[in-house]
Amino acid sequence: MKFKFLATLVFTGSILLGQAQVIDKIEKPIDLVSTLVGTQSTYFLSTGNTYPAIAMPWGMNFWSPQTGKMGDGWMYMYTAEKLRGFKQTHQPSPWMNDYGQFSIMPMVGKKSFDQEERASYFSHKAEVAKPHYYSVYLADYDVKTEITPTERAAYFRFTFPKTNDAYVLLDAFDKGSYVEVLPQEQRIIGYSTKNSGGVPENFKNYFVLEFDRPFANVATFADSVLTDGRYLVKADHVGALVGFQMANAGDQVLLKVASSFISKEQAALNLKELDGTTFDQRVLKGEDHWNNELKKIEIEGGSIDDMRTFYSCLYRSLLFPRMFYEIDANGQVVHYSPYNGKVLPGYMFTDTGFWDTFRSLFPFLNLMYPEISEKMQDGLANAYRESGWLPEWASPGLRSVMVGNNSASVVADAWVKGIRSKDIETLYEAVIHGANNAGPLPAVGRAGASYYTTLGYVPYDVNIHENAARTLEYAYDDFAIYQLAKSLNKSAEDMALYKQRSYNYEKLFDPATGLMRGKNKDGQFQSPFNPFKWGDAFTEGNSWHYTWSVFQDVEGLAKLMGGHQAMEIKLDSVFSLPPVFDDSYYGFPIHEIREMQVANMGQYAHGNQPIQHMIYLYNHVGAPWKAQYWVRETMKRMYSPNPDGYCGDEDNGQTSAWYVFSALGFYPVTPATDEYVLGAPLFKKATLNLSNGKKIAINAPNNSATNKYVHALKWNGKSHTKNFVKHSELLKGATLNFDMRSEPNKNRGVNKADLPFSLSKDDK
């Protein structure tokens, strides 16, 4: 995008502080969004592992320019020189890869299906990448391609040179595909079955392409063999080429595309999302849609880079989980079930991993977008009915990835935050079932459930990998169930059981090291113990990262460590230790290790999720000023609006939502409670426009890069010394006035009553 967007910004005023321009107001936040943030990634080092998703918020279908080969999870790499096509994608991350994908590519002079031969050089200088609009110049063909999406369809506009040999290729990809060209209707229909798992046997992504002009000629491919004049192909790998004659330079071909997981007829229905609009009108509608969602948070008084980072992160926070439902001919919500292969009524969402997103993405949606959260809860209930389990990683169906049973947190946090799903009794049944049973896959239900329910932990020596991480997350998930049971007024037995299990973290605390440690079945800690060893007992991290995964009872953790001062010193150590590591479990430094190593923040590995809440724990031990310092440092050093703008996997909005919350000045350390823990707001002003019509005004007029410490806070005009704010109070509307200074106030937020929620503290 470079800085083309600056011409479209409408400012109500700006001032210069040193070299940084401070922006007072922005009318169109979408102009600040770069979809290229995080795209400068590789297998060995991630700066986001994102792609420039051309999409509507939570849209069923995304589109992306494709630099990678068919089947390559890294479909778009910023450093690539050529584009192979424009891909409809449902990929949540390169590690999960894709499903139901196909691609489109305009060409001139060539009738090539080969992805190497058809690739064209391109430049970021001739590329515009926005959520609602993408354009790029394909240098080898002198063709400009433009795309603008709806939730289930997309509009393409190709601008060709004068030629009799203009072509548009549809590549339906391999693993079983079908294409039929219908010249009289100026359409191509078909399906793709290519996927990376998590689908029933009858899975298909049906597509329809509709052109605005007749075809001059038609050719189809079957397993890379070209045949002119053939209109129907079905094989492992098929596609079609339709030709056009461009009488004048600048002549255009318009293409409408839609797809469906249900049927070809439903794909045609989904194409109607584009009815009645020209390409340019659709661009404006997409811009309005995104601006309406982004303007729910209005920020003022920040540097242009900070504001670009904020809105780019907010964009990423509104992509996943994606809609997996469609609207049928009767206007009813229906979905193809990725769990049992049937077409059923009701909502369905997918493509998210709760191990990542329970931490801040879902709490963020519950605060700012409760209507979509309610639909997501209904979708989770449908997932349970159709599979017998709540997913922990869905893409699109059950996948065996990561650890924990954090669907319990996603359900409980929504209910505790006032999201009233009509299916809450089904969801309660689902979380109880998942909490006490191992599922059909290791990452469904609870691996090691029988050990956990009897011993209170998953042993190190029973061949269940990442056992300590599982134990710590299960204990927190039990707390989430306890909170849900309380809110639903369930039986005293249920409440007592899950409350008691919430303390299971204590069983893995090693007093000798002051850290969490794997424990054998006989009750002895595993030995030898290296707290810098990644993996093994932990998940994509080490003991220094996972020791803080006691979201529900930080006070209890502090007592185990010897009190508040001892825990404060332990927290300090995370940043002061060198970034040493033991990678013997993996056999090489996985990318998360490298990302910690190069960040120059000691053992703090913000590029991965387990430690992202840790900074805020200073609030629990009466040292909130240290949280303020490190939150600001992390935002400044680990994020930018550039292609290398993240410090690890962005992970479906989780790392982005961390930034959005943190820039506002608070964070959900303990989902499934009513509290957010305070940090340090980044901007001079932020206004949260809640869906109930209320507003939260966050004012910090003397905020700056140096004024990073909270000297005082007033809530609705009254002094607020607590290190937390309550969700239920925020929903009533509130004005928070922060007095920011360059020196810490070490006397604020230090009293017992000022400390955030902890189970053992609030028990009393």
Sheet with 709-715, strands from edge to edge, namely 297-300, 685-689, 695-699, 734-741, 709-715, 718-719
pLDDT of residue 471: 98
pLDDT at 602 over 60: yes
Dump pLDDT digits (tens) for 338-380.
999 999 999 999 999 999 999 999 999 999 999 999 999 999 9
Q: What are the φ/ψ torsions at residue 4 (nearest 5 degrees)? A: -60, -35
pTM over 0.85: yes
- What SS3 class is residue 152? coil
- Residues facing residue 719 across a β-bridge: 714
Dump pLDDT digits (tens) for 740-757.
999 999 999 999 999 999
Average pLDDT over all residues of the chain? 96
pLDDT at 4 over 90: no
Domain of residue 137: give its range: 33-295
The number of residues making up the chain comes to 764
80 lies in a domain?
Answer: yes
440 lies in a domain?
Answer: no
107 lies in a domain?
Answer: yes
- The 3-class secondary structure across 499-546, one letter per residue, is HHHCCHHHHHEECCCCEECCECCCCCECCCCCCCECCCCCCCCCHHHH
In this prediction, residue 22 has a pLDDT band, given cuts at 50, 70 and 90, of confident
- Alpha carbon distance 96, 742 (integer Å): 44
Contacts of residue 357, Cβ cutoff 8 Å, sequence gap at least 6: 320, 321, 410, 651, 652, 653, 654, 657
> Which of the 8 DSSP states describes residue 97?
B
Dump pLDDT digits (tens) for 73-118.
999 999 999 999 999 999 999 999 999 999 999 999 988 999 999 9
19 lies in a domain?
Answer: no
pLDDT of residue 24: 82
The count of domains in the chain is: 1
735 lies in a domain?
Answer: no
Answer yes or no: are the C-beta atoms of 384 and 426 closer than 8 Å. Answer: yes
pLDDT of residue 20: 61
In this prediction, residue 14 has a pLDDT band, given cuts at 50, 70 and 90, of very low
447 lies in a domain?
Answer: no
5 lies in a domain?
Answer: no
pLDDT of residue 224: 82
pLDDT of residue 11: 39
Residue 241 sits in a domain of what CATH number? 2.70.98.10
- Scored b (16 or more CB within 10 A) or e, 513-531 reads ebbbbbbeeeeeebeebeb
Dump pLDDT digits (tens) for 186-240.
999 999 999 999 999 999 999 999 999 999 999 999 998 999 999 999 999 999 9
139 lies in a domain?
Answer: yes
Count, in order, helices (H) and strands (E) of the chain.
19, 39
